[in-house]
Structures are given as structure tokens and as C-alpha cells.
Structure 1
């Protein structure tokens, strides 16, 4: 068949290919067969190619387990290679170097998990399209230099699909920083969270950016300034609650043709009024609007469509009412604000201390106390607050007051998983102390710990927790789980200087041992439970 151009033998049971020359063949489809070893198509002892004019080769859905260096030396004119859905576990350095004119490379869903990408694996300057979709590769397993060099040779890359892998805001800019010609970038389901300013370098030619099905709940103000050339932006099914006038730069909105913000957890509050009005008047195509644009908070607006949320002018701008009230109460308001600003932290700490004392006077009887545990408390904090936690908090309460805390830098077992350590040492700790700051609120790891803490609170009550707030949490950093925790649990605020002694007194009071009478009642209560009886125990002694 001297003039054969296209040959499709997919969906058969081919396992072995005997090399034979077809000089005219341009496209070869060998998908869904039982091939276990990549065919080299070399003849005459490897000196010539059996398919010298082959431009397109597809071997998807086979059983190929290895790609070795030198396997592609007889494909001098190959431009497109698809090897999706095979059993490849590693991509070695210079594997594709012999493919001098290759432009399209698709290695989707290889192996149960792609475990290794060596430095120089994609050393192909001619590449214009790369897809590693659904390989479940942990890019955090690479060193910072390896991340930067992964695609550094692909200066002409136009299309990149990394969906279904593991990335974060720190790793991504290292991978794409040198791809100045990139037009299409797919980051769907890559576990992205908060987007920092430098997550996208200057991608001056980018037209399509897909970040759907992630955990994005917010971003820095200027994050989209570097991708103002976008025509399609997809943020479907994330954790976005508020979109305001500063969320997207004017240059981006002027250039966008289509945007997808559906499936997010929007809040129907006055902060949303700009977005609600923009949705009604914009000329940009809104994917899935209006059915997938609905409110989740507050409860009275749960599942209400954003298009039906129409807050009144007075409800969001109570200027007239405020002016009337101000004329009568201006002096009182100023005085109150001055007192509050000067003493707000101390007032809150006093109220917290009074509640602890009131519970004890009313006969509050803990079923367990610190003597039942190895540690008085398990400390939860982010790395940015480590200096204060170690030098101030732990030093004061352990060295001077004799308490014992579980600190992961010091007490966790080496070699055991982090989640395993957390579960083990929570069980050994009487209470949980959470050190909250803006850095804590932005940390994805700390958000996971908040979920674990909430479960502890549901089982043992809010007195099992001690929340310490180091600073006011800004609205852009406040997440729904953290807001729920703060709203439902009393907390202390730390402020250096006046009132600092009151803060330490309140903390110590939380860990104060019960009186002898209370310990006796506690023993009596446990004894009744062990005997299978339960009766009312009067709290007065």
C-alpha cells in the first residue's frame, strides 16, 4: 500500500508489532490494544526508520510500563505523540530528546500515579502543547530548582494542562515563569487554595485560564494584573464567598469574553452588592448563570439565586438613620469608641475570666481533668507565630507555671505521618489551644487543623478549647470554618503592655485544678457511672 496515509487499528488485541516499512504513512492509531513495550519502528539494525514520514502516533490505553532513552530515534518527523492511559510510573531525563520536531505531547492519566519526573524530562524546544492531566503527580516532591527547570526548555509552549495533579501557590510560578508564549493553562483540581500576588508571572499572551474544582477562597489584590490578556477565566466550584470591585482589575474585565464563577459559596450580604449589580449589567458571557450562582450564607438566603438578591439602598447605606442618631449621641459614641479602642482587648479578657469563675461558682464539674492526660494542652499555631509561641507563651506557662504542652516541633514522633501524630497526641492532651492570626487564617494546613478541632469541640464541648487571638483577622483572610469557630467559642485576645497580666491570669485560670470538693464529686460521679447507676449529685457541698 504505497500511498497509505492513515492507519487505524485501535480496539484490537495487538501486543507485538513486527517492523515493516510504510514510507507514505502519516498517522498511526494503535489505541486500546495490549502493547506492553513501545514499538521503535527501526529497520536495518536501527539505521533507518520503517515509518520515515510518520507525523502522528497514538498509543493510548495500552499497557506500556517504561519509556527509555533512545526509543524515539526512528521518528525524525513525528509531531504529535499520545501515550495516555498507560502504566508509566517515571519519565526519565532526555527521554524525548530524539524527537526534534515534536510539537504535541500528551501523557494523560499514566499509571495509577506518576511518581517521578527527572530533571530534563521535557528537554524538547519544539514543544507547543503538553498535557499531564490526571497523572496525580506531586510536584512538591521535586526540589525548587527541579520545579523551575521542568519546562524551562519549552520556550515556545502554547498549551499546558496540569489538571488533576498536586500544586500550590508557591510551586506554580516556578513551573510556568519561563513560558512567555503560553496561551492556554489548565489547573483544574490541583488543590489550589489562596492565590498570592506572584502566583502568575507575566503571562502576556495567556488567553484561557482554568482553575475550576479547587479550594480557592480568595486572592491578593493584584494577582490578576499579570494575566490581563485573558479572554476566558474559569473559577467554577471553588470556595469564593465575596466578589467586589477590587477582585478583578479593570483591564482584565475589559478584555474578558467569558467567565465562569458558578458553583461557589456566595454570601448574600452588603459586601456583595457590587457583584450582584455587575452580573446584571455586564456584557461578558457568564457560564452557568443564573442557575449556579446562589447564596449559601446567611441562612435566610441559603440557595437563593444571586439574581434574586436585591438589597435595598437603606439596608446597605443607613446614612440617614446614622446621621439622626449621631446628632444626639455623638459625645457618648466618641467616648465609648475611645474606651473600646484603648481597652477592648482587656475588656474581652475580663469577660472571659468572669465566665470561667461563674462556671466554677455554679458547680461546673468537669468529668475529666488534667491529671487524666499526659499534656495539659495540644498547641495549634502557624509557623509565622512560632517565635511568640515558644519565647512568650510556652516559656511563661511551662517554665513559670508548671504546665506541659504538646508542641509538634518538639514532641511529634519522627517517621510517623503528620495526621497520625495529630490524632495520637490530641488524645493525650486535656485541652486544645489555638493561636489565631492572619497567617493562621491563610494557611491551608491550619484550615485542616480547624476541621479537626471542630470535631473535638463537638465531642467534648466548647470548654475543651482555648482560643487565643493575636490580631484582628481581616475579611479577606476570614474563612467560614474559622468564623464559625470564633463565633461559637469564647476566646482571649493577647495585647502586649497594659492588661498583659490579665491575659496570663485568664489563661492560668482555664487550667486551674478543681478544688478538693469538686474532685470528690467528680470521683463520686465516675463511680456511679462505673456501677451502671446514675443519680443527681447536688452541687453544693
Structure 2
């Protein structure tokens, strides 16, 4: 009892006096940013099934996202104290009521999003107090009524979106359009049947954008100069619009006009185009009847200022020579989604200034001859067609082309002459084709290419020199292919490459070495996720694959398929590494030296990697890590030393961890709510898994008062206890040292044996000859030396935790069953072994059995010399019972035959009392 009190007092003393790193959490939200920086802090509460606005939102938050929840009402006090909010998003909820004055607390608010709710009425004082509001979204509600003074206080409002409501008259928004700084009004998909200047009191408005699309307009009449600054007018899908009465001088500044889907006659549409004859630059004509579209294009192309023409979804099929004959001044033509399968050879020849041509989403079976010999062309989009083959002359004389899009075709082969004229090409997209190999397609061509996309193709092998000529290349995307072979020097010559994406292929560790990445000294982003890289041993450290990538900043190696990656490839030669994602692998344990030195590492993702602890953080020098994700692991305890090793941590995700709940977790609970530095995500959802009586209990619901005492009483107890125990320990150590230790373990063995007998006993005696207890760092010796000899040559049945433990069963139960189900226990001793929590538990259980049964069941094998002072009492138990009981692995160069013979003799001993067993007499004696 005294020992227990001393231990508890010592823990509390350390807890109180330590310089803790503090944390915090929100019950239903996440935080992005630093709580001490009010201008930058974001609170994200989206997709949480919330029915009310959370009450624990920090008062200095500047951005709040509550989208996609079930909030139905905004109450008077919901935003109280949040006076620093600049942006609020409450879209996609069920809000049908907002109390008057509920938004008045938001004095600094600039953007408010109430879209996709159920508001029907905007009351008179709804927006009172929002004098700084500049953007207001009310689209996709059920608004039928707007109070006459609802908007009168919004002096700085610039953009209002009322799309898809149930407003019937322009008069209802009269007070909105007259706001002094309003520039953009979105009022589409309502029930307006007319738009007339007299409905706006004939006042001059400052509107620059007017969006009236999908209203049942019948009349559009402007008889006064109410829109002198209007630049963008959208009347798409407004029905027949039978009456158009507008003096051309009243729309003199309109540059953008959308007449898509409108059902006016050709004559009236021509009249509309004539109204903007002096200023129109951009015209959109989607879904116009085929018989009208050519005539409208001809009318539009006679507008001298027109430069951009969009004619999608018109089912044009064939583009003849006279189709765009009058469009000589156009620079940008978009004919996507028209079912075009043929262009006559000279159909584009008149457009001598054409710079952008989009022919995507059509039915072209080859690159049309019409696109050749257009030296002014800079962008050509032929994606989403049925092109099967590229010919040498397909891009002839396109000397000014900088962007070429050929994605989503059926191209299977690229000849080396195809791109020979594209001297200025910067971006080439060939994704989603059937390209099997590159066949020198990029040899001595494309000297200016900066971005190459070859995703979702059929590439299986990358050869040396495939990209060697692309010396200007900066971005190379090769994800979602079937690459399983990369020759050394594959990326040679790409000295300017900054981004290489190789995810979702079939690449194994055999092809990931420094020779493959040789010369990529400027590479900043490398993605190798979702491949077949395993690294089952640590041999990769002798030849680290990233040793040439001295500029690497972002590395993705997560989600390796098959069995997952077991060891992390060396990254110590990447001093600029900032982002590392190695989630969804099979690490179990990591070594600190893998992360040293990486002084700039800021974000570390380790979720779902089967980690059992965070002890690798200690000594890893991760001083700049601000974001750590270790969710969905097997971590049972997180101690203070580990988190203090991350002094810059601001975001910690430990969701779905398997916590062991007791006094050892008390400091973590206090830490999670103590300060403003580290956000612990979803801390209120943490649950206990061990011990059984606390299973499924919320961590924050634990009553841990028994773990603490009043400070004054604590000092008294701890001081008195310390003095008494010092005297008692000195006396005991001098006179009764080994007797006390022996009695202690005999008592524990008695308790442990009683617990074990309550389980179902083995029916056929021992299942194994020996249980092997070892540290994961000594696994190579066990697998390469011990296992082949004992199982392969000597024929013993061994129990190894990585192979024979039952999945799903608690680890401690597996250990007990393994030790008591084996005749012997072999402990593979090393310094790493002594530092391991689980190894310590294994030797405890074996020692308990030794004391209980008084049989020679424990064999110690030392892999290295260990000073006696480093051996804890648990590791001295065998020495105490019998002073001739351990074996040492021979030093380098010594013969191992005697060692294996002695180990065989030790395993052959029968279950007789240890003191009567002479078989180990010749085994190495007392170390003193």
C-alpha cells in the first residue's frame, strides 16, 4: 500500500510541476488556424447532423462553416459574442425562421450564405446591424415576401443572390437594386414575367451584372437610362420573351450576353443583338434551334467588338466552309457538345485571329484537317472524342500552340513525328487513352513543354530516355496506369521537374531506388501512393531511394496495396520535406532516426498504420510539426513526453484509438482542455477499450478524482512518504533484497495462475515447444537465424506473435495463452527489448509461471552485452532463481554450433523442478 501511494504521489508531483504543452477541443467542430490569431481562425462544423448552432465556438473566430446540417432556426443568442466573424456559411440546412436581431451581433460580417434553406419571408429587421456585409446569398429558398426595409441598413452590399425563389415582381427587389454599392444581382429562376425600368422608379443603378436566367419573362422594356454601367446580362432560358423594347444606347456597356435556350423568333433575337452592337465581346448561344443558329452567328459576327463565341449543345454535326465565314475577328470559339463529326478543310480558314478553339465532347474520329495551318492558335481542345490515331501532319504549322488537350479519346499509339511542329507547346493532356508505350514519342520534340498528363492510360513500362528530351518539363502526371517496371534513369534529363505523380500503379520496391530518381534535384512533390511498395526489412537504409531529392517538400506513400509497407524508406536526405503522408500501411512501429534530420517537416499523416505507440516521436526532433494525424491505430497510451516532443503542434487527430483508461490517462484529459495551442479533434468522442469495466466509456466522462489530492495534503503525504520509503528501501536493499523480490513475484504468480485457470484449459497439453519473446527491432535475427534453426533443422514448434496470435483477441490475452500454451519461453534479450512495454509484459508473465510451477520453463538468450545496472528486477528473476541460466549469441566470426547445441539441450529438458535439472550445467554461468 505504501509503495502504491508513493508511486501515485510521484505521478502527481510530475504532473503538477511539468511544463505541459496544452491542448483544446470542440465537441462538434474542427478548427483551422491559430486561436491566438483571430483574423485567420476558421471553425468547420459542416456535415455533423447538427440541429442547433454549437455553443462552444471560440469568440475570436473569423470564419464559420455550418453547411449541410439540420439547423431549423437561428435564435437570438446563437451568435452572441462572435463579433469578429467575417464569413458565415449556413447553407444546406432547414432554416425557416431567423429571429429579429439574431444576426445583429455580427458587426464585422462581410459574407453571409443562407442558400438552400426554407426561408419564406425576409422580415423588416432581419439584417439590422450588418452594415459591413458585402455578399449575401439567399438562393434556393422559398422566399415570396421581402420587407420594405429589410435591406436598408446594408449600405456596403455589393452582391445579392436571390436565384431559385418564388418572387413574382421586380418591384419586390426595388429596394435592393437601389442600394448605393450594389454591383451584382442574381435573380434567376423566380416568377418574374417582366423587367421594366418603371418598376425600378427609373433611377440610375450601379449594377454591373444582372442575372435573370430561367424566369418566365414576356416583357423586357427599358425606357430610361437605369443601367448605364451594366456589363453582363444573362437572359438564358427565359421563355419566349415576346416584347423587347430597349434603346441601344441604354445597354451601351454590355460586354457579356447570354441568350441560350431562349425561344424568341430569329428576327427578335437579331434585334436583341443589335441592341448591344457597339460593345458586345462575349456571346453565349447554347441550345438554339439548328436552323436559327447559323443566321444568329452571322448577325453576331458582324458586331465589330465580338471576340468570344460559345455555341454548345446545338447539334451542328457538320461545320461547313460558310458556317463561320463572317467571324474573322473572333479569337475564342467554343463548339463543345455539338455532335460534330466532320469539319470541312477550310471551315476555319477565315478566322485569322483565332486563338482558342474548343471541339471537345463531339464525335470526331480523327484530328480534322481544318485545325492545321492556324499559326495564331494557342489552345486546341479535342478531348472527349473518338480519335484513334495521330498522324504526322495532324498538328502541322501550329507553331503558336501552347495548350493541346487530347484526353478521353481512343489513341493507342503516338508516332515520333506527331508533335514535331509544336515548338511552343506548354501543356499536353493525353489522359484516358489506350497508350501502351511511348515509342520515342517525345524524342527531340516539345522543347518548351512544362506539363504532361498521361493518366488513366495503359502504360506498363517506363524506359530510360522516354522523357529525356523534355528538359523544360515541370509537371508529370502518370497516375492510374499499369506501370510495374521503371528502368534506372527513367527521368533523366528532367532537371526542372517539380511534380511527379505515380500513384495507383503496380510499382514495387524493386524499382524505387535513387537511380530511378537520379537528377531530379528540383522535384518538390512526389506521389507514390496506392502501389505495391512493401519494404519488409530495413535494408533500404543502405541505399535510400530519395537520396537525390534534396528539394522534395511533399511526399505521399500512403495506401500501399497487397500487405502494405512494413518499413519506411529512408527520408533523411530530404531536408526540405514539409508534408509526409504514410497512412494506411503496416508499420506497427517506427524508429526516431527515420525522421532525423528533417527540420522543416510540418504535416505528418500516420492514420491506419497499426501503430501501438508514439514513442518514435521522442528523439525524432519533429520541432516544426503542427499537424499530426494518427487516427485508427492501436495506440493505448499517449504520454506527456511524446507530446512535449512536438512543441509546435496545433492539430492532433487521434480518433478511433484504443485507450487504456486509468490514472495514466488523467494528464491527457486535463491537457486536452487546458490552453489554446493544440486542437484535439473529436476529443469528446474518445472512448476506453481497456480495462473491461470502462469499455465504451467516454474518455471525458471518466471520474478520476481518486487520481488527485489537494495540493497541501499532497505535499505533506509525498514528503513524509518519501522519507519513510527512503529509510525502508535502504534497510530492505541491504538485508532483504532478494527475499522481498522473490516473495513479490511469487505472490503475483499466484494471482496470475488463478486468473489463468478460470479460462478454458488446453485439451492436448502444450500446443508449442517454445514461445519466442522478442522486440520488433530484433525480428530480422529471429526470422533469419532462430526460426530456420529451431523449426527447420531441429523440428521444434514455435509460437511467434506476428504469426500465431489470434486476430481480434486482446494482446495481453494472446501473450498469456502463448506462454502457458508452450513448454518453454525463450526471451531474446537486447537493449531494445528492455525498453519495450510489451516485451516487459511478456517476461513478467513467463517469470510468474516460473515462480508458480517451479519448473525450468524460461531460457534467456542475450544478443548483446548488457550491463547489470540496465536490467530491471523483471529481467533479474531468472538469475535470482538459478545462477546458470542464460545463453549468449556468439560474437561476429565465432562459430555458432555450440550455441545451437546448448539451446537444443535446453529445449529438451523435461518439466521437472529447475533445481533437479542438470542438463544446463554446461551452459554459461553467473555473469558477475
Structure with higher Rg: it is 2
Q: Matched residue of 1:276: which SS?
A: helix
2:870 is aligned with 1:495: no
Residues 248-294 of structure 1 show CA distances to partners (whole Å, capped at 9, x for unaligned) of 236x33x2232212221112211111111111123245364135422
How far 1:100 moved relative to its partner? Answer: 2.5
2:523 is aligned with 1:131: no
2:408 is aligned with 1:11: yes
Q: Matched residue of 2:639: which SS?
A: coil
How far 1:247 moved relative to its partner? Answer: 1.3
Residues 212-239 of structure 1 show CA distances to partners (whole Å, capped at 9, x for unaligned) of 1112222447636522111211112222
Unaligned runs of 5+ in 1: 359-364, 391-405, 415-420, 433-444, 514-541
**Residues 349, 503 of structure 1: 8 Å contact kept:** no
Partners of 2:594 and 2:744 lie apart in 1 by 38
**Residues 60, 85 of structure 1: 8 Å contact kept:** yes
The structure 2 residue matched to 1:27, chosen from 405, 427, 431, is 427
The structure 1 residue matched to 2:739, chosen from 320, 336, 343, is 343
How far 1:304 moved relative to its partner? Answer: 2.2
Structure-2 residue corresponding to 1:397: none
Partners of 2:789 and 2:678 lie apart in 1 by 53
User: Residues 305 and 9 (structure 1 numbering): CA distance in 2 closer, same or farther, change over 3 Å?
Assistant: farther
How far 1:202 moved relative to its partner? Answer: 1.8
Residues 312-364 of structure 1 show CA distances to partners (whole Å, capped at 9, x for unaligned) of 1x34459779789979x989986996688523554477679999x99xxxxxx
How far 1:9 moved relative to its partner? Answer: 3.1
Structure-2 residue corresponding to 1:378: 770
How far 1:241 moved relative to its partner? Answer: 1.6
Give 1:214-225 correspondences, 5 Å limit.
214-220=609-615, 223=618
Residues 28-52 of structure 1 show CA distances to partners (whole Å, capped at 9, x for unaligned) of 222222111126434xxx5x41x33
Structure-2 residue corresponding to 1:38: 438
User: Residues 482 and 229 (structure 1 numbering): CA distance in 2 closer, same or farther, change over 3 Å?
Assistant: same
Deviates more, 1:134-143 or 1:236-245: 134-143
Q: Matched residue of 2:462: which SS?
A: coil
Q: Per chain length, whose mean CA-contact separation is higher, i.e. which structure has more relative contact order (CA < 8 Å, sep 6+)?
A: 1
Residues 440-499 of structure 1 show CA distances to partners (whole Å, capped at 9, x for unaligned) of xxxxx75555559967976x9945555577999999733499579949984557636553
Partners of 1:367 and 1:135 lie apart in 2 by 45
How far 1:3 moved relative to its partner? Answer: 1.3
Structure-2 residue corresponding to 1:91: 486
**Residues 89, 114 of structure 1: 8 Å contact kept:** no
Structure-1 residue corresponding to 2:656: 263
Partners of 2:703 and 2:773 lie apart in 1 by 40
Residues 85-107 of structure 1 show CA distances to partners (whole Å, capped at 9, x for unaligned) of 21211222111112221111111
Q: Matched residue of 2:452: which SS?
A: strand
**Residues 746, 848 of structure 2: 8 Å contact kept:** no
**Residues 33, 62 of structure 1: 8 Å contact kept:** yes
**Residues 40, 74 of structure 1: 8 Å contact kept:** no
Structure-2 residue corresponding to 1:413: 792
Higher normalized helix content (fraction of residues): 1
**Residues 450, 472 of structure 2: 8 Å contact kept:** yes
Q: Matched residue of 1:495: which SS?
A: helix
Q: Matched residue of 1:36: which SS?
A: coil
Deviates more, 1:191-200 or 1:123-132: 191-200
The structure 2 residue matched to 1:477, chosen from 836, 843, 848, is 836
Q: Matched residue of 2:666: which SS?
A: helix
Unaligned runs of 5+ in 2: 1-373, 380-401, 755-760, 852-873, 887-906, 914-928
**Residues 68, 92 of structure 1: 8 Å contact kept:** yes
User: Residues 227 and 56 (structure 1 numbering): CA distance in 2 closer, same or farther, change over 3 Å?
Assistant: same
Structure-1 residue corresponding to 2:167: none
Partners of 2:845 and 2:775 lie apart in 1 by 21
Task: Tell me the C-alpha RMSD between the 2 structures.
Answer: 4.9
Partners of 1:68 and 1:92 lie apart in 2 by 5
Partners of 2:725 and 2:642 lie apart in 1 by 35
